[in-house]
Amino acid sequence: MTEPVRCYHTIRYGNDYGEIQFGHIHDDEIVSGCHIRTANDGGRHYMTMDSTGLSETGRKGGTIMSSPGSTQIVCGMDVAKEIPAFITIAKNGDIVFKAKRGRIRFIAENIDLIANGSDGKNGRILLKGNEKVSIKTQMFDVDANASCKIVSENTVDIIGRSILNVYGGLMDFADGATSIKGGKAGGGLFPFSNEIKNLPIIGDFL
């Protein structure tokens, strides 16, 4: 059997309210260089700076903070407006914000979402909602250099309550009936429409 991990130089300072240990050993036999915890919450309120484990998993040299109550960070009282007050940098790997039973809110005078990719594959921003994505603003601009698509399995409504302008260097319009009947001027958009078996959806023409 593998010998259990031991630390022969552990130092502990504490009382009935909490403690700090240098050389604490977790249940999974990872050694914490510095471990701070309170005593009256079942081990849920602590901060640990681990010294052993695997670097690939992020455990070696990793810091874990746990609190059964809320965690609050207040900063920047004496920082000039053009200087960042709170900075989070990941040299490698992802940054994950997860609220299992709540919202994630970003509130500021201005919010920038910037993705910089240089290999033709990265540089993407994904907004995904399994029910609904709502955008409410005074002005909404979309500027795509290569392509812009709007596709729906059901209804697409484009409404200009005052003015609706549609411009295009070359414009094609098709509906389901186009695969059966041609246009007024000798065939219209599809001169051989009677031979078309599967009409592409309108999104394929955009």
- Residue 133: strand pairing partners: none
Q: How far apart are CA 203 and CA 185, in angstroms?
A: 25
Closest CA to 73 of 65, 62, 61: 65
Closest CA to 196 of 183, 178, 184: 178
Say what the pLDDT of residue 33 is: 95
Say what the pLDDT of residue 132 is: 94
**Tokens 């036999």 sit on residue:** 29
Predicted confidence pLDDT, tens digits, the chain (206 residues):
567 888 888 999 999 999 999 999 999 999 999 999 999 888 899 999 999 999 888 899 999 999 999 999 999 999 998 899 999 999 999 999 999 999 999 999 999 999 998 888 899 999 999 999 999 999 999 999 989 999 999 999 999 999 999 999 898 888 776 665 554 444 444 444 444 444 444 444 44
Q: How far apart are CA 86 and CA 84, in angstroms?
A: 6
Token duo for residue 154? 């059901």
Say what the pLDDT of residue 85 is: 95
- Residue 65: strand pairing partners: 47
CB 47 within 8 A of CB 63: yes
Using CA atoms, how far residue 200 sits from 28, 176, 179, 195, 204, in Å, is 57, 9, 10, 14, 6
